[in-house]
Every structure is written in structure tokens, then in C-alpha cells.
Amino acid sequence: MRFHPTAQILTWCLLVASMQMLPMAALLAAAVPVLLSALALSKHKFIQLLRRTRWIMLSLLLVYAYSTPGEPLLDALNMFSPSREGVIDGVLQLTRLLVALAGLAILLDRLHRQALIAGLYTLFAPLRWFGLSRDRVAVRLALTLHYAEVAMLRSPGLQDIGGWQDTLRGLFEPHGETTRHMELPLYRFGVADVLLLAVAATMLWFAM
């Protein structure tokens, strides 16, 4: 079954919002099927996202573990021990991040670049109320995704310490390509899209 790109993007947004409101037991129960779905449907993309964010996730866990006041997790380390409450909070935030990445992996695997931009183009419709052009935003988004992909493909390996710096610098280098126009596929909302959004909205309502 094929859903409208906008419906899929909104569903992912509602999923991420729902995970922020769930208590620990419900969060862990909801995270398991999402993570298993990502491994079954988009394993390569999910692992790729995990590799790119592994240092962020480690930093997140350490920040919560050592900045949250509470009982020491390891009495032997005394003042150098992370707090028990901090580790619990860190695991919760890490779980929320994992669920967001799992949903994003499935989303990116289901939507090619043009479909993704087409979905965001529909979401940008309210920009007209503020006198902004969603056409211009869509073109700039397409260029950003294109140059980011080019930069990642030509970036050096992880063994090169300056690899991430070269990648970041490459995003701002001038390129010879020019984009005069961009064609986006047309999609229509159907009953399946309404049902998908209804399920996602219901999930958010129960989380609240």
C-alpha cells in the first residue's frame, strides 16, 4: 500500500511527538515494535543512521548520567560516579532518539528524494500566508539534499581525523551544476492516508 508522502512525514512527526510524552514503561513497550520494524524493513538505512549518530548518542547518555543529581550508580567511584537517576533519564532520552531514527530510516527507505521533497512541498503550503514562496524553499531543499549527498560520497574515510571537517567544508563549496527547474511527482490524498493520520493522531492523544 502506497501512502501520500505528506501523510508519511506527518506520521513520523506524530510518532516522535508521542514518544516524548510516554512514561518509561509505555515508551519501552512502544519502542520494541518500532525498532524491530526498522530492522526488518530498513536495516541498512537504520544501521547507517546509527553509525552517523553514535557519538551524539554516547554524549547524550554521558551528559544525563553526570549532570543529573541523585544517588551514585557506583559507590566505589564516589563523586566520580554517574547518578542512578541520570542514567535512567539518559536511557529514556536515548530510547526516544532510537525510535525517531528507526522511524526516519523507514521513511527514507519508502520515499525517494523527489517524493520526500513533494511531501514537504505540500507541508510548506502555509508559507504563502506569510508571503513566502514554497517553490523557492523546495528548490533550495532539493539543492541542499543533493550537495549533502555529493559531499558524503566524496568525503574521506573515518580514519581521517579531518574527514568531517572536509565534508562540512564541501557543503559550502561552489559547484558547477545549476538547477533551472525541478519537477515533482503529483500525489493525491486517499482514504488510506486519512486512516494512517488518524491512527498516528490517536497514538499522540493516548500519549498525552
**Contact in structure between 114 and 185 (CB atoms under 8 Å):** yes
The predicted-structure confidence for 150-206, as pLDDT tens digits, reads as follows: 554 454 444 444 554 554 454 444 444 444 566 777 778 888 888 988 988 988 888
Name the nearest CA neighbour of 158 among 55, 41, 65.
55
Q: What is the pTM of this model?
A: 0.76
Q: What are the residue ranges spanned by the domains of the chain?
A: 1-111+188-208, 113-177
Contacts of 189 (CB under 8 A, 6+ apart): 4, 6, 7
The predicted-structure confidence for 132-159, as pLDDT tens digits, reads as follows: 777 777 777 766 765 655 554 454 444 4
Contacts of 1 (CB under 8 A, 6+ apart): 192
The predicted-structure confidence for 46-95, as pLDDT tens digits, reads as follows: 998 898 888 989 999 999 988 888 888 877 777 778 888 889 999 999 99
For 28-80, the three-class secondary structure string (H helix, E strand, C coil) is HHHHHHHHHHHHHHCHHHHHHHHHHHHHHHHHHHHHHHHHCCCCECCHHHHHH
